[in-house]
Amino acid sequence: MNYEYFLAKRLIKRKGKNLSRPIIIIATLSITLGVAVMILSISILQGFKSEIKEKIVGFASHVQVLPYNLKLSESLDGISLSQKEKEGLLRIDNIKSISPFATKGGVIKTKTDFQGIMLKGVDKDYDTTFFHHYLTKGRFLNIKTNGGSEALVSKVVADKLNLSIGDKLRVFFYIDNNYRARAFNIVGIYETGLSDYDERFVICDISQVQGLNSWGKDTVEGYEILLKNFSLLEQTSQQIYYSLGENMTIQTIEEIEPNLFSWLSLLDSNVILILIIMMLVSIVTITSTLLIIIFEQTTTIGVLKSMGSTSKSIIKIFLYNATYIILRGLLFGNVLALGIAFVQAKFNIFTLPQESYFLTSVPIEISAIQIIMVNLVTIIICLAALLIPARSISKISPIKSIRFD
């Protein structure tokens, strides 16, 4: 054990009336709260973004393959991918699944009310995991090869029109200057919290929409592609484009919902601001604490210098002291943050207004890498900041400091 570390331990453990004792406690609490806030801010942001992305992707997938003329005209002739083209897409490593879809705007009419909706048809290849997670009543569709009349409606639509499981749903469509009606049997009710989607979408068998559009069984509006890794979205969309050629429109979820993703990006800026503020508070507190400790130990510094200790060695003693305070603050901060995160994940104590945030409770997603980064950055920045007050030790005169006592 080197003598700098030995003396630092003696100074830390020394009892009695010290001016620095309450200051050290305040500094430890400050770092504890700062680290806890930083970890929770990052975890909440990560959880919030993951939940929102999961919901948007659940409705619209990661990538959509659409007719080339979709952006140029309101008319829609539909498309059809060959088995060879589908197999080519599935060879792309990041693609999880491909399923066709078709939509048709219509109006639900009941005896007392009506609601404009978008009928979305899916087939047996559709990944039902998302809707199974957000079902509040009933079950998902039983997709049949010869078509089916089952439908899934949102809780928003069901509540507004006073609909329930087993009720008949009559939807009217305006086609070729005439109104056509379709009757569906409600088998499930879902609620995602995304009002723009919940208020519009009714899910049904794709054959129903194909029939309304006078399409054959192989003609669809487009294909939804789910990916394994969201972070490779742009790269994978380029691979899809090169695989299918220029006669298709490839849209990523970020292009389909630019406003939502811009909003999520804005949240990053808010969290960065919180991290900077918390880091500055920790730096100011720990540097102030070190200055007070140095002031309190001026006589000790003079004695050590008179005994031959160099300024560098004495600086090490006080940096060990400061490191001890920082590490205690980090330990308590991590325990506090992880404790709050565990309680929230288990009991959902902190709630949110769903109409504003699309979620009913504060989501938390813990990342070990992010926690390690917060701790490392805090240690490095705080220790770097401590070098400034520590340099004042070299200016202390042994004779004057001993007389100072």
Confidence grade of residue 73 (pLDDT, cut at 50, 70, 90): very low
Q: Which residue has the tokens 């309304």?
A: 212
The model's pTM? 0.84
Residue 72 pLDDT greater than 60, yes or no: no
For residues 7-20, average pLDDT: 63
- CA distance linking residue 23 with residue 291, whole number of Å: 11
Residue 14 has pLDDT above 70, yes or no: no
What is the pLDDT at residue 19? 54
- Whether 164 has a pLDDT exceeding 80, the answer reads yes
Q: Which residue ranges make up each domain of the chain? A: 3-55+261-404, 97-206
**Average pLDDT of the chain?**
87
Q: Which tens digit of pLDDT belongs to each residue from 285-303?
A: 888 888 887 777 777 767 7
Least confident of 44-58, 86-100, 296-310, 380-394: 296-310
How much is the pLDDT for 70?
58
Amino acid identity of residue 247, one-letter, is N
pLDDT in tens, 129-155: 999 999 999 999 988 755 689 999 999
Q: What is the mean pLDDT of residues 303-325?
A: 79
Distant-in-sequence, close-in-space partners of 98: CB < 8 Å, separation ≥ 6: 86, 89, 90, 125, 223, 224, 225, 226
- Please state, as a whole number, how many other Cβ atoms lie within 10 Å of the Cβ of residue 271: 16
10 Å Cβ neighbour count for 223? 24
Identify whether the C-beta of residue 333 lies closer than 8 Å to the C-beta of residue 39. yes
User: Which region, left, alpha or beta, applies to residue 25 given φ > 0 means left and ψ of -120 to 50 means alpha?
Assistant: alpha
Contact 61, 226 (CB under 8 A): yes
What integer pLDDT is reported at residue 385 of this predicted model?
A: 86
Residue 161 has pLDDT above 90, yes or no: yes
Strand partners of residue 15: none
Task: State what percent of residues in the chain have pLDDT above 90.
Answer: 62
